[in-house]
Structure 1
Amino acid sequence: MNSVGLMYVGAVLFVNSLMLFGKIDGKSAGVFNLFVGAIQVISPLYLIFTANGDSWVIFNASGIFLFGFTYLYVGITNLKNYNSSGVGWYSLWVAILAVGYASVSFIHFNDVKFGVIWLMWAFLWTLFYLLLASKKNIAIFTGWVTLIQAWITATIPAFLTLIGQWDAVGPKTTWSVTILTILLFIVAYLSTKSSVSSEVSELQSGS
């Protein structure tokens, strides 16, 4: 993915995490989703039109559309107050494809870093399916995962790429960050699960 576009993926994930925490109004976040979604649709179109038939350039560009249509869908849904289940089911489809992109990164490109990042994105899209389509009570947990991934999978990799330091990130750093990130996800899940259980108990006691 283009490093500038990836930078703004980090930005929109950051904004959307704050929306899930209730810190930002859904319509306000929706506007920014439209901005980033438009960029992530225009950029791959340009890459495809100038690819001269290079199938791998087209393949890589196709992955950017997954993000572009996600953010456009979220933006329009929020601004129009549509039911979010459509975004949720679309997220499930994207999550499955993201596993495919991860596999290609690992096997064809021998790119462990983006293979791991694609798997993290697959996990995030799965959470949005569970939250928006299956209506699971995981908004806060999803918010934490979104916030962490805003930095780990997008903002930091994009910034390092822009300053020419992404290739300096070796396997040890990659796996160390991956393990740390998974541990953070587990801590976030356990803490939010405890909070939800406490709220349910209080409601039951009050009734």
Structure 2
Amino acid sequence: MLGVVLLFVGVILIVNGLTLAGRIEAKEAAVLNLLVGSLSAFAAVLGAIQASTPADFLAVGSGLLFAFTYLYVAGVHWFKLSGTGLGWYCLFVAITALPLSWDAYTLGELRMAGIWLVWSSLWLLFFVDLCTGVRVKRFLAPYTVVVGIVTCWIPGMLMLLARW
């Protein structure tokens, strides 16, 4: 299921990056954010139903970090909110992603450790952009697209092709 979710997280990061760059209207991006957030939440709920180990519940929790991110982005775009609340949520997720990266590293999952670090940096940059007054959109837009391709779309496809 992770490969499926990552595939769609990849596309939404690309769309969100293009939205930041002014290439896609925010309300259009809101629709796909709602769909991807809902898919991620559905996958997490399925995981919660089947969960029996701490690792299973960790996967559920980390999946919900993504689900709520995209559902929140959908709301910000659709209702034309400032995004300050989203920014603070992104800081929470950026900090939360650091021990997830460390955990993956200690388990010898070096690719996932690196991916979690990159995701943490992306969430941190969204916090900086939305909450600090420091405008980083010029960097953030292409960075979001690259992160979507390198950490989600490609790994998701490799997982689906059983090549990960």
TM-score relative to the length of structure 2: 0.97
1:106 aligns with 2:70: no
Q: Aligned pair 1:2/2:31, yes or no?
A: no
User: Quick one: distance in 1 between partners of 2:85 and 2:50?
Assistant: 32
Q: How many matched pairs? A: 164
What is the letter of the counterpart of residue 57 of structure 1? D
Whole-Å Cα distance in 2 between the matches of residues 137 and 41 of structure 1? 30
Aligned match of 2:84:
85
Aligned to 1:68: 67
**1:4 CA displacement:** 0.2
Counterparts in 2 of 1:132-147, with a 5 A limit?
132-147=130-145
Inter-partner Cα distance in structure 2 for 1:100 and 1:125: 14
Runs of 5+ consecutive residues of structure 1 not aligned to the other structure: 167-207
* Deviation of the 1:110 alpha carbon: 1.2
Residue by residue over 1:2-37, the C-alpha shift from the partner in whole angstroms, topping out at 9 and shown as x without a partner, is 110010000000000000110000111011100000
Matches of 1:36 and 1:130 in 2, distance apart? Answer: 24
Deviation of the 1:58 alpha carbon:
1.1
Which residue type is aligned with residue 50 of structure 2? T
Higher RCO (CA 8 Å, separation ≥ 6 residues): 2
SS in 1 for 2:132: coil
Paired AA for residue 80 in structure 1 = F
Structure 2: state its 5+ residue gaps.
Answer: none
1:135 CA drift (Å): 2.6
Which of the two has higher C-alpha Rg?
1
Q: Which runs of at least 4 in structure 1 moved beyond 6 Å after TM superposition? A: none
Q: Does 1:54 align with 2:82?
A: no
Partner residue, 2:33: 33
In 2, the alpha carbon distance for the partners of 1:161 and 1:81 equals 36
- Superposition TM-score, scaled by structure 1 size: 0.77
One-letter amino acid matched to 2:119: W
Task: Please report the RMSD computed on the Cα atoms of aligned residues, expressed in angstroms.
Answer: 0.9
Distance of 1:9 and 1:21 partners within structure 2: 18
Q: State the identity as a percent.
A: 33
Q: CA offsets, 1:30-72, max 9 Å, x none?
A: 1110000011111111111112x21111111210101100000
Equivalent residue runs for 1:112-191 within 5 Å: 112-166=110-164
Match of residue 19 from structure 1: 19
Give the aligned partner of residue 94 of structure 1.
93
The separation in 2 between residues aligned to 1:132 and 1:85, in whole angstroms, is: 6
Could you tell me how far apart the structure 2 residues matched to 1:58 and 1:137 are? 36
